[in-house]
Amino acid sequence: MDTTVEAKRYKRSRQRERILDTLRRTDSHPTAAWIYDELKRDFPDLSLGTVYRNLNILHDQGLVRVLQSGSTFDRFDADTSVHYHFVCQACGKVEDVAFPLPHDLDERASAMLGRVVTGHRLDFFGLCNPCSSAESADPVETGKL
Amino acid sequence: MDTTVEAKRYKRSRQRERILDTLRRTDSHPTAAWIYDELKRDFPDLSLGTVYRNLNILHDQGLVRVLQSGSTFDRFDADTSVHYHFVCQACGKVEDVAFPLPHDLDERASAMLGRVVTGHRLDFFGLCNPCSSAESADPVETGKL
DNA sequence: TTAATTGCAAACGGTTTGCCACGTT
DNA sequence: AACGTGGCAAACCGTTTGCAATTAA
């Protein structure tokens, strides 16, 4: 991630425009590989690395959300009761959160969606106290996780 | 994952007991590597593979929650507005969910936690309609993601 | 004795990166 | 001309797995 004051100046590229376009035309929350397959028709020499690079750029620009970060660590919790988590975007620390959400949230969602809902997961993002006081001018970095 | 009718019969192992014990003694939601380092003192020949194997077993037994799945794909979304997701635990499909949560959820959480909360993420888990009708007797598999 | 468990190391798989030619400004 | 971008392939890194030896039941 860029920590300098100046943001990077990007040039246009057909590939990146088509990647964003492809992403906007679907609601299937595709993987990088799916986008790659999709564009392979029009760009026979397309590389997976190019797709990843551009998705990261688009994310930098705030045009794309990353739903799951497959590149981070698995974290484990022996507390199997219902509770949520607060994740510090600076240091990655994970804290428990006892946030009062409706106890029948799954049932409600189930009824509203017309699907079998067996559970949910809620994470809050932000800065923990130590990191909050340590950082003065920090880049935005929205929705990183 | 075991799809047979009979569940696997586990034997005791010092390593697995210590792994669960270590996990229960902390609230830091550690990674596998952290647990490995922790137990390396008492088990000098301990292997990371053993830690992973046992964490999976403990998860099978419902004694451990996995907070982030680092082994799955990143998924991308060009819709940057606030919305949630429904993830099918059978086929992995991701659907948008317009669930009515308080618009000031982050502010409330921020006040309650005494931390800077910049955002949150809510995922529902369950079975999508196609998978729901396809599966008759399916294993529980709670909290996989 | 039977089968689960372990340590080791190799394999796996999604993602990143170095290199150099090419495209954009 | 200056520098971001693309394609290719190797590297990366957390996680899984095959194997022979060990250990629980």
CB of B115 lies under 7 Å from some atom of strand D: no
Look-up of token digits 């907070």: B67
pLDDT for A144 equals 29
List protein-proximal bases of chain C (any atom < 7 A from a CB): 3-10, 14-18, 23-25
pTM of the model: 0.76
Q: How far is the CA of B53 from the C1' of C10 (A)?
A: 17
Instruction: For B94-110, write each residue's pLDDT tens digit.
Output: 888 887 788 888 999 99
Residues 6+ apart with CB under 8 A from A138: A90, A127
Q: Chain-wide mean pLDDT for chain B?
A: 82
Query: Residues by CB within 7 Å of nucleic chain C, which ones?
Result: A 11-14, 31-33, 48-49, 52-53, 56, 70-71; B 8-11, 13-16, 43, 45-50, 53-54, 57, 73-74
Residue B140 has pLDDT above 50, yes or no: no
Do the chains contact at B73 and A116, CB–CB below 8 Å? no
Residue with tokens 């659907």: B95
Domains along chain B with CATH numbers: 9-78 (1.10.10.10), 82-145 (3.30.1490.190)
Token output for A15? 């590939």
pLDDT tens for A86-141 read 888 877 788 888 877 888 889 999 998 889 998 898 889 888 888 887 764 444 33
Is residue B46 over pLDDT 60? yes
Which is more confidently placed, A4 or A64? Answer: A64
Q: Using the CA of B73, which nucleotide's C1' is the nearest one?
A: C14
Q: Which has the higher per-residue pLDDT, B7 or A115?
A: A115
| Burial of residue B60 (number of CB atoms within 10 Å: 0-12, 13-18, 19+) | middle
Residues in chain A with CB shorter than 8 Å from the CB of B67 are: 74-77, 85, 94
